[in-house]
Chains A and B, each alone.
Chain A
Amino acid sequence: MRNTGLKIILLSLICLLLVFSVDCSKTQKLKIIQVKKTEIPVVNFRVMIFSGSADDQKGKEGLAYFASSMLKKGTQSYSREQLEELLDFLSARIDISVDKQVIVVSGTTLKENLDKFYPLFSEVILKPSFPQEEIEKQKKEQEDGVNMLLQDDGELVKECLQDYIYKDHPYGHPVVGGLSSIKSFTRQDVQDFYNTHFVKDNLVIGLAGDIDENLVEKVRKDFSALKEGKVVHPEGTVQPLKGRKLLLVEKEGRGQTQFCFGHPVSFTRKDEKMFFPLYVANTYFGKHRESFGVLFQTVRTEHGLSYGAYSYIEYFRQAGWSNLASPNIPRREQYFSIWTYPKSINGKFTMKLVLKDLTDLVENGVPKEELERYKNFEINHFPFEIQTPQRKLGLLLDEEFYGNYGFVDNFEKNVKGVSSDQVNSDLKKYIFPDDIAIVAIVSNADDFKKELFSDQTVIEYPSGVDGASLKEGDDKVKAFDLKIKPEDVSVVKVSELFK
């Protein structure tokens, strides 16, 4: 009896251990990042899936975007129409964003509606139904996305630069794909993409705002229903650029020339030793929407050539109408870029001015006395990066992607630790003014080329700018060698893009 009893106890213990260990393995794989702030009765969800347009197969460009967009187009319990009606009624949102390497499904609701909202949010991710009639509609909607990209010169020039520098790499097509690939998508493609990529090991969950343990546990339990699976992402090699290359995108009637300059870089924010020195250097040189940058000062303040001139050391998307970067667009490959948009007649001069500024930066570095000022700027500016729970959550999720845990907590320390020597040597090591691609949207490519290869560099000063006082400096700009030969120039008509 005693033995039997012991056996039963031991058996029960083994069973319990088995059950517990199964549970543990599930919970270990399902990571939930939390940022609690209860002052505002709002709850934010973010589910980051570590797949994106870089996972699109050849001929199926845009599928990651397509399949992700389909999540909101119907679930096992709700049609698209019902979902939209319920979300509007709750004044809640579910948004889906897709980039090269992540898909983010985010949700926002008032705390008072959480019980009604959460079943919708979880079902969108866990039980999408991909109705056939919505597949056809989504094709049209995604084609609109391609067309809208063609209409907005600012977005177009940035997209063309990426396509150019990542040619033959999984990053080398727009996230929305091309018009012909979109037409080819089937319901099976969508289902396959979902089955492959929406698996437990390939995502991280974030919760922010007025959250509590009950919610965390519920999410953990529900999302544990996702299948397990290992995702194999396509590999690719980014080819470094050799020399200066110019791509002219021809679009008639432009009053301005949108320019984007850039080249791939061999670091990301995971490589903190390079990232922080170059982050501060970029703040000094051309931080987005800041008027103190060197580029802004020379291009806009001194010459009045363009409304803006900015530089970036990683892919950048502006967050709403703030000056801040959107979180949750992490990439394993990054690129350096510059964006400006002068009046067409001043295009060649502006090209020279920008490249000269960049060359000077790399050659001369950031002046020591200035460096402290820009380090202080970043240290004191960082609270804005994390001032809302959703922004902080976004950055913490990015840590999960990069594996650079402590990026947020150690930001101040890392910026403080940046030295002048590091900045100046890293600029030389990682930024290449001579090996850079330039994309320009121009009315007429032949006219632009003619001007480019003529001996003259025209500048039409705005009425208030005293050209005489700038003459000495501007003569040096005019004399700057663009080092672009006719064979370095390629031309594409806007109507030929993203087919």
Chain B
Amino acid sequence: MSKKQSFKVNMFSSLLLVLIPLFSLLAQELKLDIKKNVLDNGLTILTCEDKSAPTVSYMTFINAGSREEKPGITGLAHIFEHMMFRGTKEYPDFDKAITSFGAQTNASTGEDYTSYFVNVKKDYLEKIIPIEADRVRNLVFTNEAFRMEMGPVKEERRRGVVDDPDGFIWDELVQTAYQVHPYHHPVIGFEEDLEKNIQVQDGLDFKRNFYSPGYTTIVLTGNFDTPKALELIKKYYGDWQKTPPPDLNIPAEPKQTKERVKNYVWKDSEISPKLLIAFHGPNFEIKDDDFCALELAARILFMSSGRLTKKLYNDLQLVEYISGGMGDRKDPGLFEISTSLKRGKSIDEAKPLILEELEKLKNEPVSERELEKAKNSVKAEMIYRMDNPLSVAYTIGHFQTAGGDYNLLFEIQKKYSEVTPEMIQQVARKYFNPENRTVLTLLPKK
């Protein structure tokens, strides 16, 4: 979210972790009528009408994020996100073009995709489609504009990583857990790449490869008429030239064979000790059941009444918070556990208790009630997210891009409902092993 709203970019995936991965249970009950259209040039359009809403949400998903960056150009996808608000020849001042419509606009960059949204009152949909089409097609990527955006990007990084202990340790976690795969580098990029390495030609190449119809999905939700909207989208995107798909060659992360441990000391004494533990897990394509079983395991551990929350937060009062979940990524993600200890408490007290609970998952089946509770939470989150067009659009777009198909939104619930206590045991045994583990600590300065 880096135009204006900085999700700490490195934390973006964690947020999704909590909010996004588990939709679909009641999607059909909620009568989500999603229609898919693909233009000849490859542009995908997903529409979902809700006539009870006074507004529409118009989202553009570019199916490329930091995963599509190569070493030396880290942070480029995120810079594009910033550049998209700098205007074009047709609309030199993007803000001016949309201010009177009262639009809500923002964008976010993650590992797997970049997304943009413009929400407006339903009457203004036809006004914003040409503006949105123009900026994604005719983004001006000049050296001057690109360099201009570096200042805010670096300040965003300073705020979210350099001066933020949580941001810092999350960045270090991915760099340690991934050695080869591009998930290794932070979405916001390495400072030296931002400062020196990225050249304007890199930007032009990225634009040609990814800001193209085949890599773009438009998701439209709220109060509109699909045929009329499609007509407008065809008018403004129909002659967008198709480009050949790039040769990506994204290297697979080799199997981790040994535990990785890193310990850091923060630059001031005001922070609480922090501990991150991560295990390599499956991807989000749901070809097997591991993803769903791991996500439910996370809920059994980290809900308010979850095993680890109860033990470490409520009973022993060891931690300020503890959370975790299975990252929903195109390529194999991480099962992440994050905790911050109370002042005066030691990581050595908390870590063995966390590992002990993970071992228990391997050795004893979880109770039916715990599992049911976790499944209930998946279902409820989906319904709670349906209360506004943006949230619906985001959900659909996320499944389409990170999951590969919006229909996963409907299918995943079935997968969740089929998870058994034995399956939780199986994934615990398969993934929660020392050689698959990365552990990071961050202590306050003494």
A residues in contact (CB < 8 Å) with B: 37, 39-42, 80-81, 84-85, 87-92, 108, 110, 137, 140, 143-144, 147-148, 150-151, 153-154, 251-256, 289-292, 296, 300, 303-308, 321-323, 341-343, 373-374, 376-384, 387-390, 461-466, 494-495
Contact = CB atoms under 8 A, between A and B. Distances in A.
4 tightest A-B CB contacts, nearest first: A304-B151, A464-B147, A380-B102, A462-B151
A387 B369 contact: no
Contact of A84 (B6, B30, B50, B305): B305
Contact of B102 (A87, A291, A377): A377
A408 to B, nearest CB: 14
A307 B188 CA distance: 13
Given A304-B152, A381-B102, A462-B154, A110 B95 contact: no
Given A84-B305, A289-B106, A380-B124, A387 B53 contact: yes
Residue from A40, A140, A143, A305 with most neighbouring chain B CB atoms (10 Å): A40
Interface in B303-362: 303-306, 310, 314, 317, 320, 342-343
Contacts of B343: 143, 147
Contacts of B145: 464
18 contacts: A39-B50, A42-B387, A88-B305, A88-B306, A91-B379, A91-B381, A137-B317, A256-B155, A290-B4, A291-B4, A291-B85, A306-B155, A323-B104, A380-B101, A380-B103, A381-B103, A387-B54, A495-B269
Contacts of B270: 147, 150-151, 251, 494-495
A313 B115 CA distance: 31
Nearest to B85: A291
Interface stretch (B169-177, B207-215, B370-378): B370-378
A477 to B, nearest CB: 16
A91 B377 contact: yes
Contacts of B269: 495
Given A39-B52, A137-B317, A304-B151, A380 B121 contact: yes
B267 A252 contact: yes
Nearest to A344: B158
Contact of B387 (A40, A300, A308): A40
A42 B383 contact: yes
A431 B236 CA distance: 45
Nearest to A310: B4
A388 B54 CA distance: 10
Contacts of B232: none
Contacts of A89: 369, 372-373, 376
A291 B271 CA distance: 32
B305 A304 contact: no
B148 interface: yes
Interface string B142-168: 001111111110111011001101000
A140 B320 CA distance: 9
A304 B100 CA distance: 25
Contacts of B4: 289-291, 296, 308, 323
* Of listed B6, B30, B95, residue having the most chain A CB within 10 A: B95
Nearest to A372: B100
A343 B155 contact: yes
Contacts of B159: 154, 256, 307, 341
A295 B395 CA distance: 33
A379 B5 CA distance: 22
Contacts of B99: 292, 373-374, 376-377
B271 A151 contact: yes
B272 interface: yes
Given A144-B272, A304-B152, A307-B156, 18 more contacts: A39-B52, A42-B384, A80-B314, A89-B372, A89-B373, A91-B381, A137-B317, A256-B159, A296-B4, A308-B4, A377-B102, A379-B102, A380-B100, A380-B102, A380-B124, A462-B151, A464-B147, A464-B151
Given A110-B383, A305-B151, A341-B155, A148 B102 contact: no
Contact of B155 (A254, A307, A323, A389): A307
B366 interface: no
Contacts of B106: 289, 323
Contacts of B147: 462-465
A91 B100 contact: no
Interface in B382-397: 383-384, 386-388
B187 interface: no
A415 B304 CA distance: 43
A304 B310 contact: no
Contact of A88 (B120, B377, B386): B377
B379 A151 contact: no
Nearest to A460: B151
Contacts, number: 197
A303 to B, nearest CB: 7
Given A147-B272, A321-B5, A465-B151, A41 B383 contact: yes
A196 B380 CA distance: 36
A140 B342 contact: yes
A108 B305 contact: no
Contacts of A342: 155
A464 B148 contact: yes
B425 interface: no
- Of A254, A342, A381, A465, most buried by chain B (CB within 10 Å of CB) is A381
A376 B387 contact: no
A81 to B, nearest CB: 7
B57 to A, nearest CB: 10
A39 to B, nearest CB: 5
B381 A384 contact: no
B131 interface: no
A340 to B, nearest CB: 10
Kindly name the residue among B102, B124, B163, B268 whose own CB sees the greatest number of chain A CB atoms within 10 A: B163
Interface in B30-68: 30, 50, 52-55
B163 A254 contact: yes
Contacts of A150: 270
Nearest to A375: B100
A321 B1 contact: yes
A381 B317 CA distance: 44
A309 to B, nearest CB: 10
B96 interface: yes
A47 B193 CA distance: 51
A384 B377 contact: no
Given A151-B271, A251-B268, A255-B163, A90 B376 contact: yes
Contacts of A147: 270, 272, 320, 343
A78 B348 CA distance: 34
A56 to B, nearest CB: 23
Contacts of B437: none
A381 B151 contact: no
Interface string B4-27: 111100000001000000000000
Contacts of B154: 343, 462
Nearest to A304: B151
A37 B265 CA distance: 51
A303 B268 contact: no
B272 A87 contact: no
Contact of A384 (B119, B162, B267): B119
A176 B156 CA distance: 28
B388 A376 contact: no
A40 B50 CA distance: 11
Nearest to B12: A321
A495 B303 CA distance: 33
B411 interface: no
A383 B52 CA distance: 13
Contacts of A304: 148-152, 155
